[in-house]
Structures are given as C-alpha cells and as structure tokens.
Structure 1
Amino acid sequence: FAAMAAGDPLLARLTGRLRGLRPPRFPTVFEALVNGIACQQLSITVGIHLLGRLTAAHGRPVPEDPDELRAFPGPTDLESVTLQDLNQMGFSAAKARTILEAATAIAGGEFDLESLERLDDQTAVDRLTSLYGVGRWTAEYVLLRGLGRLHVFPGDDVGARNKLKRFFDIERTLDYEGIEELLARWHPYAGVIYFHLLLDSLAETGLVTTG
C-alpha cells in the first residue's frame, strides 16, 4: 500500500502524515461488533466515550493492575447487564438492546462469531445482519476491524463518504455503488483508505496527533 500511495498523488494527500499505518484489528470479533454498534450514527468521539464507560463498568480486571485497568468485556461479562444499565451509560434503547441480544446469542452458542473467519464477505455480512439492530455498515466494519479484511470499505458511512468527496475533490453525489467504483483503482486497500479517513477525523478533534 505504501508503494501504491507514494506513486499516486491523490493517495499521497491522504496518507502522507501517517505513512506505514495499518488498521489495527480488535483483539476479538465481539469487541469489533460492539464498537460498531456503539458508533452507529454518532461521532467517533462520542462512541469512544460510551465504550470507555462500558469497559470501566463491566470490563475484566487486568491482572497487572486490577484496580485501575480493565479489558474490554466479553459476551459472558454482559449476561447480567440490563437495558437500564446501558441506558444510564448513554446508550440509546435500540443500541442497548442490540448489544445485549448479541451478547446473549453469542454467549449461549446461538451465534458463532468465530465462524465468520471462514465465510466470504457477503455471507459474513448476511450472517451479521441477521442480528437485531446490525446493518450493513456495522457488519462491514466488523469485517474490516474484527476480521482484518483490508479490502472492505464500509460504504454506508456518511461521514467517511463526505470526507472521501472532500479529499479527492469529487463534486458528484457518492452512493454505495459509487464508492465501490471509485475505490476499485486502489484494490485491495479500500479499508486502509477508510482507516486513514477515520484517523483524519480524529486528528481534527485533537484525539490523534499526526506528523
């Protein structure tokens, strides 16, 4: 990707400040799923705060510093959590239900997240969107950040879509198919471009420092 970006003036504008960056994969697919749910139709800053509250309240203590550090909760850690608990943290009723129903299905063996590794993209998206409250954007986010499929660009992300237009000076309206067409020239790195757009947004808020 770095070699491609270096030889492409359009990509160089986006990636120059974060050369060598590779989108980090979440430690578990469940963490990627809950992250995607939390950030649905919210700024990433707000989503991060919600996830921090969830981890502080229900995360697993880290042995090296159990009084201060918490790992992200797994499905079984949320079995006793109620809708009201999540509402009080700031999660909407719909997101709270989505998180808890997914955790229950996964903890009970009704939904096998790990099996997604063996599925092609569309089949994995279909499986994920069978869960209550999980749409195509969240499913594709899981493919990118939970399964490490760097060719996947969550095309329903309106913020990323608008930033893509600004970065590449595109005047026409971009729909899902238009994004696929635009990014085809940089296959198989659409997900890397998505992550650069995401970090650029974080840099604008001061949450990420770039050189």
Structure 2
Amino acid sequence: CEDSMNRMQTDYIDIYFIHYPNDEVDISETMSAMLDLKKEGKIREIGLSNFTRTQMEGALKIGRFEVIQPCYSLLWRFIEEDIVPFCLDNNIGIVAYSPIAQGILTGKFTKDWTFKKGDKRKSTPLFQDGLFEECLAVAGALKPYAKKHGKTQGQVAINWVTSQPGMTSAIVGARNAAQMKENIGASGWRLSREELAEIDKIGRRVTDKLPKYENFFSMRIID
C-alpha cells in the first residue's frame, strides 16, 4: 500500500483492490490487513477482483468491501449466474473489465488476422479457431446499432455493459488519446430497452454454448 501511494504521489487510495485471491493465504488474514489499512486512513474502500461468489461470501464475513472487478462483456457473461445477484443483494458495486472482449467487439479483427509475436490473446478462449469466427459475427451484428446512434461497435458494446443491472462502470484500456476519446464516447447516451434486449440475444449466440472456463485468460474448463 505504501508503495502504491508513493507511485501515485498521494496520501490515501480511494479503492484498494485485492486483484486475485491467494489460495495460500486465508482470506481472513488478507481482509483483516485491508481493514487495518482502512482504519489507518490509507485506503477509503476495499475492492475484490476475480473472486468467485463463494470467495466473496467468505470475505464479506470478515469485513465490508464496496466493489468488485470481474471480467464481463457481451461475449463473457458467467457472472450473471451468481455474482451479479450476490452484489445486488449486498449493495456491492460492479466495475467490469474487458467490456470489449480484448478488442473483438470493436470490429477491428478479421478471421485471417495475424497476431504479433508475444500477443497473448491467441492463447485465450475467445480467440480459438471456430469460436473466434462466431465472436466476429457478434461484433459485426453491432454495426446497425452503431450506425443508428452515430457510434462505433466498441462504444455500443461498452454501453451495453454499463446498462446491465449492478454495473457502476467499466474499465477499458487505452494506449493513446484517440483510444481514450473513443472510450469516452461510450457514455452520455442510451440504448433503448428493446435494443438492449436485441443485443443480449446477439451475444447469447456465443455465450449460451461456452463451456465454463477457469477465467478469461485460461483454457482450463472447470464445468
């Protein structure tokens, strides 16, 4: 925590996340340490990232956390089953990461896309042969909505995410000012209820037949 404050040149952190659960350390120990940091005024709120519902239930028994950071997009919706209901029941905010599914939903990829050396996306579930092409079709199906609203496919995908129950915001990467401006364009307008439902069905062309992977970056199937 001290190192984080020094890097950011601040004397407190608004939200301090436990980025991944540590199987080698009991959650009670980790949460107790976070609660101590809060009492000391070094952090304002506690957040959890990449936790299962069971893990969150265990953490909540030790102390309050205000927000979680899970992977969520039109193409990756496992949290809808149990994590979103848990957060709604306990008034916990949800900040989704990868709302454009590692760039797939921007529409920039093609089926014959050549990935640069070191690009790890090719080793993740949505980029596997067969499934990748289906994901591209979903991205393509967002074009009419983008055209109607004067937006891009990526902006439609982000707007859809932030319109879902429990979502307070979304984290979208940006490497330059143009990408930052693109991300900002996902806010300040609304998809209609009918459009949200239609886009929901489009995404389910992929998500309804996805096996349950360990996480967004792993090929290990757990269910």
TM-score between both structures, scaled by the size of structure 2 = 0.27
- Would you tell me which structure has more helix in proportion to its own residues? 1
